[in-house]
Amino acid sequence: MKNRTRKSIFMLPLIVSLFAAAPVEFGVEGDFFHGFMIPKPIIKIGLGTNLKDIRIQASSGMKIYEVNSMYRLVSDDADEVQVKGGSEKITEKYVVLVAHTREREEADLLAAELKRQVGGRVYVEENLESAAGGVFEVKVGDFLTRGQALEAIKSLNAAGRKDVWILREDVVVGESKPIWMIIENELMPLGRESNIFFIPANPESLLSFRGRSYRGFFILRGTRRGVVLINVLNLDDYLKGVVPGELSPDQFGAIEALKAQAVAARTYAIKNMGQFKEYGYDLVASTRSQLYSGLTAERPLSTRAVEETAGEVVRYKGKLINALYTSTCGGRTENVENVFPGSPSPYLKSVECTYEKQPEWHIESKSPLAPITVWGRNASVDVAFLAGLGVIPIGVDAVDFRLDCRFDEAVEWIRAALRRLGLKGGEFVPDAAPLDFVGLSDMLVRAFGWQEKVRRLVLPSEADFVVKDMPPIDPKDRKALAYCLQSGIFPDRLRTGNPRRPVSRAELAMALSRIIRAHKNFFQTGIFRSAGRNTIEVGRDFERKTLRLMPRLFLLRNLDGEAGFASHLTLLGGERVQWVERDNEVSYLEVFYPPNSNVLDRSSRYNRWQVRKSRDELEKRIGQSYAIGRLVDISARTRGASGRVSKLLITGTKEKVTVSGLQICSVLGLRDTLFVVDRSWDEAGGVEAFTFSGRGWGHGVGLCQVGAYGMAIGGAGYRDILKKYYSGVRIDKIY
């Protein structure tokens, strides 16, 4: 009988063997590993490097193999494995990055020249983690301290090398030790050059790591990066865990945008497959490659996008493109050479993030309501909400809500509110009394049945405290008035006012609105998609519905949290809306507008941003890479086609440096390089702080993800989206 609770512990200091990544193969057949089949094409993803403490679990058991020149079954059916990394010593080193080149020969010539000029260790290394890929870096070092690296920069500056950058790198040292396995209290040695395979015991079993489930199987091995864990799986299964992480279907639920993302991610994966073959895998699971979160991240709509574009990739003149994409381009993408080092690319050109076929929809309202302000607060929304529910009757003639509310009018509104909430007391008969705040509090307590709450939850001393700054209030009325103030039904400003003055219609509307909202949420929310004759369509691609608009619709525009009435609105699609229905028709519609713009990524909160940094804060950050001394100023030297800063001049008391491309974001700690700078000055005339007003999030090259969503909402297909952001390409099916 199998032991389903078996736990294995591996002590794994460093496996020195490397498992070379095989070239990508396409076809309908699959690869088998002891009965476990993975359809081709297959990809290997590095889930973590230099791992110290690993816990792998299986939902329905897993087989564990030791594989070197031969293989042997270590465990036939384990539910959980604990792996302990070795005791290798990790320390830091510093190197100085002098230049990037596309060609190895050019890098070797530059390294030889620097060797003659400055001496020491000068070498060329291919940057396997570059987002652009294939970049050769010329470096000087190693240095054990940042101070030594800063001294080397002085020599490089003297040799005419100004645009250099300090990098910190991890170093793995120490002797490798044997691998040991403890299973059922038996100590078993494993070969030092072994790879450990974790294979699901059956097709339904899933492996988990760090709380996430994954398709396929795992390989654990040692590299010069320490212990690494690799997920081996089908390429499209991998994409099912990538697409929702790169473009959330919960937030951006447009199938055509997700299809564009799927094709771009597939193209990027195949183009860069084998990028980390030295370590036994193709790509990493972080944004250095593509964000991959396994089966746990999968969503039905993004999975559908992957399946409906199976095998489709983007090519330029027959070759796979390097399908870069960015979250928010800020209205225009950038030429690749202005962000990443290297030559221009004909398909990664700057394009404006707009849609030539952008539809517009118009909604009109004949609401007679005018803006209403009470106690410094916009009461218009409360009035429209109650009118939409039918609590307040609105006729053809305009109602002045600034006027005092009549007693009989208040009774009818309260009765209507009770009926709308389905509460007893809809026919309550109050004692006729002046409609001031004292009388209204008593009326509300009796109508909504709050007598027990007032009696048990309001202390006499609290009631006395709440009304102490008011004109004298009869003790029998204090607790009801205090309850309405404590509950937020009446505005707190009333505590220093006169509760015996008449209540206006707007003030009663605000009180009833707060009561109703506290009892039940009548609002429905969604994403606007289109409008027809007296109808609108809302929802996402996996769930849409058509709503009929009431002839006397209350229409509100909400911009930056401020709502106001509108007689008509123009919508482009993708706007967030909330509404109230009465008799199966929309009686209240509020549209939440993004910033006034027609760009496709307008809905992103990063379409526009502002960051303020003090000089000391910025100086400290810049000093981690450049020995500039005291920061004097920063300014843009050159800008790209989108307005992004392609070269930034940083002026210090010791020297000036020029930073290029995406390094600008890292050095300044900003979201994007599309920004302008404002300065605040101190009394001595020096810069005290820098304010960066910018747009976008990411590198700004290639597919704009939020823009793709906006284009899809406007009716564009995924092929049109891809051809919009990648110039002159075609979409082909390769498997």
Over the stretch 602-651, which tens digit does the pLDDT of each residue have?
989 999 999 999 999 999 999 999 999 999 999 999 999 999 999 999 99
Nearest to 481 by CA among 491, 492, 467: 467
* Mean pLDDT (whole number) for 20-43: 68
Answer yes or no: are the C-beta atoms of 201 and 131 closer than 8 Å.
no
- Whole-number Å distance between alpha carbons of 326 and 261: 11
Can you give the CATH number for the domain in which 116 is found? 3.30.70.1070
Considering the domain architecture, whether residues 140 and 189 belong to the same structural domain is answered as no
Would residue 119 count as lying in a domain? yes
Residue-range definition of the domain harbouring residue 244: 7-87+176-308
Question: Given this model, what pLDDT does residue 5 score?
Answer: 44
Residue 175 pLDDT exceeds 60: no
Place of tokens 């398909």: 347
Would residue 112 count as lying in a domain? yes
Considering the domain architecture, whether residues 275 and 187 belong to the same structural domain is answered as yes
Retrieve residue 457's tokens: 């939850």
| Distances, alpha carbon 417 to alpha carbons 64, 268, 432, 444, in Å | 66, 58, 19, 11
Last residue in a domain, options 694, 711, 730: 694
Considering the domain architecture, whether residues 195 and 160 belong to the same structural domain is answered as no
Answer yes or no: are the C-beta atoms of 641 and 332 closer than 8 Å.
yes
Would residue 633 count as lying in a domain? yes
Considering the domain architecture, whether residues 48 and 196 belong to the same structural domain is answered as yes
- What tens digit of pLDDT does each residue of 438-448 get? 999 999 999 99
Distance of CA 65 to the CA centre of its chain: 39
For the chain, helix, strand, coil in percent to 5 are 25, 35, 40
Per-residue three-class SS string for 578-630: EEEEECCEEEEEEEEECCCCCCCCCCCCCCCEEEEEEHHHHHHHHHCCCCCCC
Residue 20 pLDDT exceeds 60: no
- Whole-number Å distance between alpha carbons of 720 and 357: 11
Question: Given this model, what pLDDT does residue 352 score?
Answer: 97
Considering the domain architecture, whether residues 30 and 109 belong to the same structural domain is answered as no
Amino acid occupying residue 291: L
Considering the domain architecture, whether residues 115 and 233 belong to the same structural domain is answered as no
Would residue 71 count as lying in a domain? yes
Answer yes or no: are the C-beta atoms of 486 and 378 closer than 8 Å.
no
Question: Given this model, what pLDDT does residue 376 score?
Answer: 81
CB atoms within 10 A of CB 110: 18
Considering the domain architecture, whether residues 116 and 32 belong to the same structural domain is answered as no
Contacts of 429 (CB under 8 A, 6+ apart): none
Last residue in a domain, options 308, 337, 363: 308
Residue 397 pLDDT exceeds 70: no
Among the ranges 22-26, 127-131, 563-567, 652-656, which has the highest mean pLDDT value? 652-656
Nearest to 484 by CA among 440, 524, 528: 440
Considering the domain architecture, whether residues 108 and 234 belong to the same structural domain is answered as no
Considering the domain architecture, whether residues 165 and 183 belong to the same structural domain is answered as no
Question: Given this model, what pLDDT does residue 146 score?
Answer: 79
Question: Given this model, what pLDDT does residue 191 score?
Answer: 55
- Tally of domains within the chain: 3
Question: Given this model, what pLDDT does residue 630 score?
Answer: 94
Residue 553 pLDDT exceeds 50: yes
Answer yes or no: are the C-beta atoms of 172 and 30 closer than 8 Å.
no
DSSP, residue by residue, 254-299: -HHHHHHHHHHHHHHHHHTTTTBGGGTBSEESSTTT-----GGG--
- Whole-number Å distance between alpha carbons of 600 and 625: 36
Question: Given this model, what pLDDT does residue 90 score?
Answer: 42
Would residue 185 count as lying in a domain? yes
Would residue 423 count as lying in a domain? no
- Whole-number Å distance between alpha carbons of 435 and 408: 10
Question: What angle (nearest 5°) sits at the alpha carbon of residue 252, between those of residues 248 and 256?
Answer: 105
Residue 167's pLDDT band (cuts 50, 70, 90): confident
- Whole-number Å distance between alpha carbons of 193 and 229: 15
Helix (H) or strand (E) holding 439: helix 437-447
Place of tokens 């381009």: 329
Question: Given this model, what pLDDT does residue 113 score?
Answer: 86
Considering the domain architecture, whether residues 674 and 688 belong to the same structural domain is answered as yes
- Whole-number Å distance between alpha carbons of 724 and 703: 8
Nearest to 416 by CA among 408, 406, 407, 427: 427
Residue 396 pLDDT exceeds 60: no
Considering the domain architecture, whether residues 205 and 299 belong to the same structural domain is answered as yes
- What tens digit of pLDDT does each residue of 242-293 get? 999 999 999 999 999 999 999 999 999 999 999 999 889 999 999 889 999 9
> Which has the higher per-residue pLDDT, 373 or 427?
373
- What tens digit of pLDDT does each residue of 84-132 get? 665 444 456 788 888 888 778 888 888 888 888 887 778 888 776 655 5
Place of tokens 């059956």: 202
Nearest to 73 by CA among 62, 63, 83: 63
DSSP, residue by residue, 112-161: HHHHHHH-S-EEEEEETT-SS--EEEEEEEEESSHHHHHHHHHHHHHTT-
* Mean pLDDT (whole number) for 5-33: 49
Radius of gyration of the chain (CA): 33
Backbone angles phi, psi at 629, to 5 degrees: 80, -140
First to last CA, the chain: 43
Strand partners, 660: 647
Q: What is the DSSP letter of 332?
A: B
Question: Given this model, what pLDDT does residue 3 score?
Answer: 47
Question: Given this model, what pLDDT does residue 178 score?
Answer: 47
Contacts of 279 (CB under 8 A, 6+ apart): 18, 46, 49, 223, 225, 228
Question: What percent of the chain is modeled with pLDDT above 90?
Answer: 62
Considering the domain architecture, whether residues 207 and 150 belong to the same structural domain is answered as no
DSSP, residue by residue, 361-423: EEEE--------EETTEE-HHHHHHHHHHTSS---SS---TTSBPPHHHHHHHHHHHHHHHT-
Distance of CA 34 to the CA centre of its chain: 40
Answer yes or no: are the C-beta atoms of 290 and 208 closer than 8 Å.
no
Place of tokens 């590993």: 33
* Mean pLDDT (whole number) for 536-549: 90
Retrieve residue 71's tokens: 């293989």
Amino acid occupying residue 26: F
- Whole-number Å distance between alpha carbons of 390 and 418: 12
Length of the chain: 735
For the four alpha carbons of 503, 504, 505 and 510, in that order, the dihedral sign comes to negative
Helix (H) or strand (E) holding 482: helix 475-486
* Mean pLDDT (whole number) for 129-145: 71
Residue 148's pLDDT band (cuts 50, 70, 90): confident
Would residue 627 count as lying in a domain? yes
- Whole-number Å distance between alpha carbons of 643 and 116: 39
- 3-class DSSP state of 214: strand
> Which has the higher per-residue pLDDT, 168 or 385?
385
Would residue 67 count as lying in a domain? yes
Contacts of 558 (CB under 8 A, 6+ apart): 590, 591, 592, 593
Last residue in a domain, options 123, 141, 173: 173
